[in-house]
Amino acid sequence: MHADAKQFLSDFLAQLTIEKRASQYTVKSYKRDLNCLNTYCESKSISLWTDLKQTDIRTHIASRHRQGLSSTSLQRELSAIRSFFNFLLKNRLADNNPAQYIKAPKQVRKLPKTLDVDQVKGLLEAGTSSIIEIRDVAMFELFYSSGIRLSELANLDITDIDLTDKSLMVRSGKGGKSRILPIGNNAITGIKTWLEQRIKNAEKNESALFISMRGKRLGQRSIELRLEQWCKKKGISEHIHPHMLRHSFASHLLESSQDLRAVQELLGHSNISTTQIYTHLDFQHLADVYDKAHPRAKRKFI
- Nearby residues of 272 by Cβ (< 8 Å), 6 or more positions away: 260, 261, 264
Options 20, 82, 113, 243, the catalytic residue? 243
* Three-state secondary structure of 45-69: CCCCHHHCCHHHHHHHHHHHHHCCC
Options 217, 246, 247, 252, the catalytic residue? 246
Q: Closest Cα to residue 28, out of 11, 13, 7?
A: 13
Phi, psi angle pair for 181, to nearest 5° = -125, 140
Phi, psi angle pair for 111, to nearest 5° = -70, 140
Options 65, 82, 174, 179, the catalytic residue? 174
> Does the annotation mark 252 as catalytic?
no
> Does the annotation mark 232 as catalytic?
no
> Does the annotation mark 221 as catalytic?
no
Burial of 174 (C-beta count, 10 Å sphere; 0-12/13-18/19+): middle
Dist CA 189 CA 97 (whole Å): 54
Contact between 230 and 200 (Cβ < 8 Å):
no
Options 149, 198, 217, 252, the catalytic residue? 149
> Does the annotation mark 233 as catalytic?
no
> Does the annotation mark 217 as catalytic?
no
Edge-to-edge strand list for the sheet holding 161-162? 161-162, 167-170, 179-182
Active-site residue set: 149, 174, 243, 246, 269, 278
